[in-house]
Amino acid sequence: MSEAHTDAWLQWPFLEPGHRELAADLRNWCREQPVPDPDADALATCRHWVRALGQAGWLRYCVPAGPGGVLGGMFPQLDVRSLCILRETLAQHHALADFAFAMQGLGSGAIALAGSPAQQQAYLPAVAQGHSIAAFALSEPEAGSDVAALACRAQADGPDYVLNGRKTWISNGGLADFYCVFARTGQAGADGISAFIVEAGTPGLVIESQIEVMSPHPLATLRFEDCRVPAAQRLGEVGQGFKLAMRTLDVFRTSVAAAAVGFARRALAEGLAHARQRRLFGKTLAEFQLTQAALGDAATEIDQSALLTYRAAWVRDVQQRASTLETAMAKMAATESAQRVIDRMLQLFGAQGVVHGHILERLYRDIRALRIYEGATEIQKLIISRALLRPARTG
Ligand code: COS
């Protein structure tokens, strides 16, 4: 792809000059980073990326300006457009670099949104420096898509809460220094849920098992057995945990869409380079109309996804309103279309594309979970249709 087209999206009106500088600086930084050994342990690779991203200052974009963030006067709150640029760029470089960045944000997002000044000060600067690793513990064996059904219990007991239950599919499980845990403090349903910060090593917090997935990253099932946390570790008001989880996801789901755009862009760049040089039947692959159709479809789908993604980020950053509808559209469209783009580009490589370690084989595995985590495509459809059917929420 021509450099001009590759960078054209940076001129879109959703972005500001600071975003263009961020994209250029980050791209230069990525070029200098060695790609880790694909067979290295995922936990060690994630630790490496958190350290590297922290040292370089990129993790400061995960937290608001006050407690250790970088955004200062320009963006005092979490800037979703910056998060998206970071994830899109990191995803093009290495899936675990993107994962490590994303989890620092998602894992600490509830503290950024609802933490007291003392909680923000205690956790966010260390997250921004890469000295502390964060995790978001929402899903349970019987409550993945249906968050309001979660059963992990937090029972008030004197000055403490006592947690009992299980959490699963927890990214950074076993690696994190702290977990933002959503647990039931009241009646059934969404209103009975509160959030807590639970530090790794708290007695009663057990890492039950690591889960191995097709694109390896730290992922675990946690068990709480009479795990006692002081009431000062509660995040936000009693009963507001469900809404806090949803508000956190509204921010970070948009960035999932951006990561999908990044994976798709990398696939297209690889496909283009290959099509230009691969010769068969006396001409290059690029000279076949079928190849041109695949490239045309891929480039169009990527721009559609990127437009939806940066629109959702802009709605929240600039219009300063809930982007639930726009975020759901972006998350669904970008992850689904990235899967198609990567599949088409893999096809251009023929058998080479499925060889273990080939960049397309890796991208093919890396993209799959994005259509499921942080709200499966089917849940995004539900969110979109509900937003259409009822009056818009404000704030
Ligand atoms: N921001 C703020 N508040 C929100 C919100 C949002 N994005 N979404 C819902 N709420 C509020 C609702 O307005 C409602 O408030 P009131 O009771 O005051 O009216 C309350 O939260 C309950 O909402 P709702 O009735 O829509 O909840 P449901 O249980 O029907 O379902 C879905 C909500 C399906 C959208 C939710 O469970 C979901 O997002 N599931 C996917 C979970 C997920 O992403 N899992 C992955 C975990 S991280 S890997």
Alpha-carbon Rg for the chain in angstroms: 21
C-alpha 120 to ligand 1 mean position (Å): 24
Q: Which atom of ligand 1 is found nearest the CA of 106?
A: 48
HEC states along 164-191?
Answer: EEEEEEEECCCCCCEEEEEEECCCCCHH
Query: In sequence order, what DSSP letters do the residues of 297-325 get, joined into one string?
Result: HHHHHHHHHHHHHHHHHHHHHTS-S--HH
Say how far apart CA 212 and CA 256 lie, in whole Å: 21
Domains of the chain: 3-133 (1.10.540.10), 136-241 (2.40.110.10), 244-389 (1.20.140.10)
Distance 237 CA to ligand 1 centre (A): 17
* Residue 345 CA: distances (Å) to CA of 8, 88, 177, 298, 366: 21, 18, 39, 8, 14
Phi, psi of 204 (to 5 degrees): 95, -10
Q: Say what the pLDDT of residue 1 is.
A: 55
CA-proximal residue: ligand 1, atom 48 (nearest):
374
Report whether pLDDT(391) > 80.
no
Instruction: State which ligand 1 atom lies nearest to the alpha carbon of 249.
Output: 44
Question: Which of 106, 179, 246, 378 has most ligand 1 atoms within 8 Å of CB, for mutation?
Answer: 246
In this predicted structure, the answer to whether residue 74 has a pLDDT above a threshold of 60 is no
pLDDT score, position 188: 96
**Cα 243-247-252 angle, rounded to 5 deg:** 145
Indicate the top mutation candidate among 243, 316, 377, 380 to test ligand 1's pocket, ranked by most ligand atoms within 8 A of CB: 243
Residue 389, pLDDT above cutoff 90? yes
Express each pLDDT in 26-67 by its tens digit. Answer: 999 999 999 888 788 999 999 999 999 999 999 999 998 876
Centre of ligand 1 to C-alpha 242, Å, is 7
In this prediction the pTM is 0.95
**pLDDT average, residue stretch 147-155:** 97
CA of 383 to the centre of ligand 1 (A): 8
Whether the CB of 326 sits within 6 Å of ligand 1: no
pLDDT digit string (tens) for 264-277? 999 999 999 999 99
Question: Beta strand pairing status for 279-280 and 219-230?
Answer: unpaired
pLDDT at 76 over 70: no
Question: Is the CB of 323 inside a 6 Å radius of any atom of ligand 1?
Answer: no
